[in-house]
Amino acid sequence: MADYKSKLGNLADKLKKEEPKTPIQEVAPVKAQPIEKEPEGQLNVWIPRKLLKKMKTHGVEEELSLKEITILALEKYLEAN
């Protein structure tokens, strides 16, 4: 037990005497590139509840928001016409 205490005592003295070592690598935050967004307008529509439920289910399955689903659907519709 005395040997154990002397080792701990020596460790404390050693830590007090030595200066802390600084890390070699400098850590800097990553600056994300700003994403340019297209200006947006607001669209409010009333749709059948069954269609809304299908949209929500599809959104959960494909990890898409209702906004993203609406934009994709409108773009596809307008490209076809």
Query: Domain range holding 76?
Result: 47-81
> For residue 41, is pLDDT > 70?
yes
> For residue 23, is pLDDT > 70?
no
**35 in any annotated domain:** no
**18 in any annotated domain:** no
Predicted confidence (pLDDT) per residue in 58-73, tens digit: 999 999 999 999 999 9
What does pTM read for this prediction?
A: 0.55
Overall number of domains in the chain: 1
Considering the chain, what percentage of its residues have pLDDT values greater than 70? 90
Per-residue pLDDT band for 7 (boundaries 50, 70, 90) equals low
Work out the average pLDDT over 21-50: 85
Q: Which of 38, 44, 50, 39 is nearest to 70 (CA)?
A: 44
**38 in any annotated domain:** no
Q: Rounded distance, CA 35 to CA 79, Å?
A: 25
**55 in any annotated domain:** yes
